[in-house]
Structure 1
């Protein structure tokens, strides 16, 4: 009979070996980067797939003690990842060419949010899709924003592989997505505002602002090696305080990174740190996300809602970006490429949906539908963009 440590190591072996083997053997990079394969495998290893077909094996590997240990690693992994994403957000760069950036980012966020909110308004009329602690307005706003999210880290990964990251188009995409990221986390904080804990949340924001100012003064005066340690202490403190205030630890993690300057860290070390987090511990987060999927409402019902949300997200994003292109006078074909690139959702949307599920704003089966939508939209990006990039003479 294996002990908890051995069972935990078996789970880690599965988490790292299975997705990488499938990704390498089937060469899925064109439509599914490794992170997407890891998320898919997480779903397949969850209670709705492996747990339903082979319950004995599922229960033998993913025991309560092992799941608790995996969840702890997953929490820290996503905190580190969101922290680095906050550091790498460059508001100054996002505001370069402010009219182009503001118009495009505004329409690219508002239109899919509207389409997603309309879809959510219909979905949440049926019982079982709204979380136990969520209001109807919170559910509509949360799902609508999930449809509008762009995953900046995956966007960068795809642009690098397409060879457009350093080109003017790639830098424009980076500005649009950066500005939207700031807006998305701000809206999430608003969704999580709680009338019963409003005093705590106000106190958190006030103290955070004061401590952030003091930390920035200190960071300018210490060596880079000390900045890393101070940054991690700051990350843990902000995450704890935000969770205590009811804003969720991921919101605190993002805010902790936003107030730091990327110029304070060696760019190669920062990139390497992000890659190490993605390589070594984020797969555990993907697995823990898969373990949270729920098909109790019926597989076809969940798939149908996922398809409805996918249509709302894609149509809304493309419509918004095409409107921006008309206003700004883009050349033919640019709106299609930009719209599909900004449609990339995996990672950030999954993190966003996890927050909504943790706060019981959405039900587990709604979370599952959002997860499927995020995977499908990300897998569509490269096949839809590649032919148009060639016509534009880029990539």
Structure 2
């Protein structure tokens, strides 16, 4: 029996739910200390998905989230996440990291390498059981993909959390940004290798051969334009590079990051870039969070998925803390610095979800693994502020006492 309500009206009902429910939970529940609005939106996306709302109220879920509505939401979600990843690429400042290259390289390398090892060990354990590795994955892709998922740091969310804790513009905050920026480059490079379609090597060679000279021409062209024109050309560049990356067998999100990372943030007004990032988070990303929730699965059993998420969470925290503490010993940091930096760098949220979405799209992980990674990302992000805030307070007391 065809739906009595037009698709446009169902779409608007879905949009109202997407924006209303997380806002009410965040505002009335006063969750901001441990769960910022962006985290609540991700949790709400899971709750609205087929594994929770769809299981409890299947008729209601099928009534609102029809195939046409989901297709429309997915189109908006694709563009939202492309914009978000593109902005993350633009905002990487590798110049400062180069000035402090020894400290930055040691810390970023340890902060990425150790959780990569611990996460890969966790993947080797999971691969022994059915239901975790994707149908299109080779074992090395699954192990490396899960390992890197354990090492991810969500740079944009890290910025928001450090703003909240009033340390973003401090020397400590700028150091952490340098470490996270270097790790961001490595994460996307490894992702490109993991998702590479080896049957399309010819296309990938064509893409690289075209992309490198296009970058030089694009950069020269952009510096000659007034800022108002740069915004439009940059969006065209985003769409073209993302298409090229997807066409050659990588992924459109990898292309979006490449499109952003070759651009200089000083081409644009800093306040306008910040405003655009906040507006994308406010206006568009909630739709991506819902589309993420629609892809969660509990097929291997809800308790098993939670156990896997807890296992992955423990391994990535151990790896991140071990790596950063080792870097602190090598570089002679003050007492307490390594713990604070380690906990801030294990913030995952959006980038982890984006990373896991690419792995799912490419058939490297299953929906159950995707759900476990999503839960791990939420838990690691929600732990950050409650754990770091008292540590920062103790550090400030130590600094003032030493002075």
Answer yes or no: same fold by TM over 0.5: yes
Tell me the alpha carbon deviations over residues 137-195 of structure 1, each in whole angstroms, 9 at most, x when there is no partner.
00000000000000000100000010101111000000000000001000001112222
Correspondence for 2:209 among 202, 206, 209: 206
Aligned counterparts, 1:77-156, within 5 A: 77-156=80-159
Rounded Cα–Cα distance in structure 2 between residues aligned with 1:196 and 1:97:
40
2:26 is the alignment partner of 1:23: yes
Alpha-carbon distance between aligned partners in 2 of 1:5 and 1:96, rounded to the nearest angstrom: 53
Q: Which residue does 1:290 correspond to in 2?
A: 293
Provide the C-alpha distance between the structure 1 equivalents of 2:204 and 2:137, rounded to a whole number of angstroms: 18
Match of 1:61 in 2: 64
Superimposed CA distance per residue, residues 58-112 of structure 1 (whole angstroms, 9 cap, x where no aligned partner): 0001000000000000000000001111100111122231111110000000000
Q: Tell me, in whole angstroms, the C-alpha distance in 1 between the residues paired with 2:284 and 2:131.
A: 32
Partners of 2:71 and 2:128 in 1: CA distance: 34
CA distance in 1, matches of 2:155, 2:396: 24
Q: Between Structure 1 and Structure 2, how many residues are aligned?
A: 395
Q: Aligned partners of 1:205 and 1:132: how far apart in 2?
A: 28
Cα root mean square deviation, aligned: 0.9
Asked whether the 8 Å contact 1:112–1:148 carries over to 2, the reply is yes
Of residues 262, 270, 273, the one that matches 1:270 is 273
Deviations 1:234-284 (A, max 9, x none): 000011110001110000000000111101001111111111111100000
Instruction: Give CA-to-partner distance per residue, 1:213-235, whole Å, 9 cap, x none.
Output: 10001001111111111000000
Please say if 1:227 is aligned against 2:230.
yes
TM superposition outliers: structure 1 runs of 4+ over 4 Å:
none
Give the Cα–Cα distance (whole angstroms) in 2 for the partners of residues 107 and 187 of structure 1: 16
Distance 1:115 1:229 in 2: 43
Number of the residue aligned with 1:389: 392
1:32 corresponds to 2:56: no
* DSSP 3-state at the match of 1:281: helix
CA distances 1:192-222 after superposition (whole Å, capped 9, x unpaired): 2222111111211121111111000100111
Q: Which runs of 5+ in 2 are unaligned?
A: none
Task: Give, in whole Å, the separation in 1 of the partners of 2:99 and 2:17.
Answer: 45
1:167 equivalent in structure 2: 170
Superposed counterparts of 1:309-388, under 5 Å: 309-388=312-391
- When normalised by structure 2's length, the TM-score is 0.97
Equivalent of 1:45 in 21, 42, 48: 48
TM-score computed with the length of structure 1 as normaliser: 0.99
- Taking the TM superposition and a 5 Å limit, the aligned residue runs for 1:294-305 are 294-305=297-308
Q: 1:307 aligns with which of 289, 305, 310?
A: 310
Write the distance in 2 (CA, Å) between the matches of 1:96 and 1:64: 52
